[in-house]
Amino acid sequence: MKSKKAGAQQKKAKLAVWKFASCDGCQLSLLDLEDELLLLANSVEIAFFLEASSRVLPGPYDVSLVEGSITTREDQQRIQDVRKQSKTLISIGACATSGGIQALRNFADVDEFTRHVYATPAYIQTLTTSSAISEHVAVDYELRGCPVNKYQLVEVLTSTLHGKAPSIPNESVCMECKRQGQTCVIVANNTACLGPITHAGCGAICPRYCRGCYGCYGPKEQCKPAPLSQKLLERAAKGSASQNELARLFRTFNCNSTEFRAESLLQEERAQKAKKHS
């Protein structure tokens, strides 16, 4: 560590990384930092990060990163505990911020799922829903994405450590898309793209490869899916999305977010009605 005149004796902040129901992808983004990882290890004390090290230091922790959603009774308890031990709690990724892909259970009957998946469903104890961390405890900052963008992760950590507001715009994916001079895939290709209503952060990766945005970062501020759905349906004949496909498009990693959930239910209902009629 470089000698700091003022805060040389200052203790390093203790960092903890927690996992709930998730695929570990967001934690991997942390390990994937490469250049910044050593710097990070230098700047903070990694006190609890099971994916990286079995060394466990006791709490309290200065900063906790929480990955994953709440799907069991135990986790409901555990998150309370994590909150108590953490000065700053940052939830990272679609699971932690909205419930993740596993929130598909919120649209269906969990018992039926367990019956189909497990040989002995009786062993399975699970909640009927998957929910965001913020539905259980107070969260200081939510970082979106499935998975989170590693540069944004560094930005949030750096900002938290040094008391600065993170530069993480809550604008649309289109803004990132246009700044890079990408040709819009809705306008030019009739591709279904959720960019206009999706929170920025990924750097518009999909449009960059001529695909539509899947909404991995969830609804943006002022998210209004209805007019977009309508326009995409109007383009359906030209290869955009059908009602059924739209329902599915809204029902992925952020299916449990208020706006996406409502829109996917609406589109599903309409698709079913249309099917009955024909």
Buried/exposed 159-180: b ≥16 CB within 10 Å, e otherwise: ebbeeeeeebeeebbbebbeee
Looking at residues 6 to 25 of the shown chain, list those that interact with another protein (rule: CB under 8 A): 6
204 binds, among ligand SF4, another protein, none (CB under 5 to 8 A by kind): ligand SF4
Query: Using the rule CB under 8 A, which residue among 55, 73, 115, 164 binds another protein?
Result: 164
Q: Which two tokens stand for residue 273?
A: 């009605």
**Contact window for another protein (CB under 8 A) among 24-32, 69-77, 130-138, 187-195:** 187-195
Residue 255 DSSP label? T
Closest Cα to residue 261, out of 225, 216, 211?
225
CB of 21 vs another protein, minimal distance in Å: 30
**Contact status: 174 vs another protein (CB under 8 A):** yes
Query: Is residue 46 near another protein by the rule CB under 8 A?
Result: no
Name the H helices within the chain: 25-31, 35-43, 73-85, 93-98, 110-117, 150-162, 173-179, 185-189, 205-208, 225-234, 243-249, 258-277
**Residue 29 binds which one of another protein, ligand SF4, none, with CB within 5 to 8 A depending on kind?**
none
Q: Which residues bind another protein (CB under 8 A)?
A: 2, 4-6, 36, 39-40, 42-43, 154-155, 157-159, 161-162, 164, 167, 169-172, 174-175, 178-181, 183-184, 186-189, 193, 195-197, 221-222, 224, 227-228, 230-231
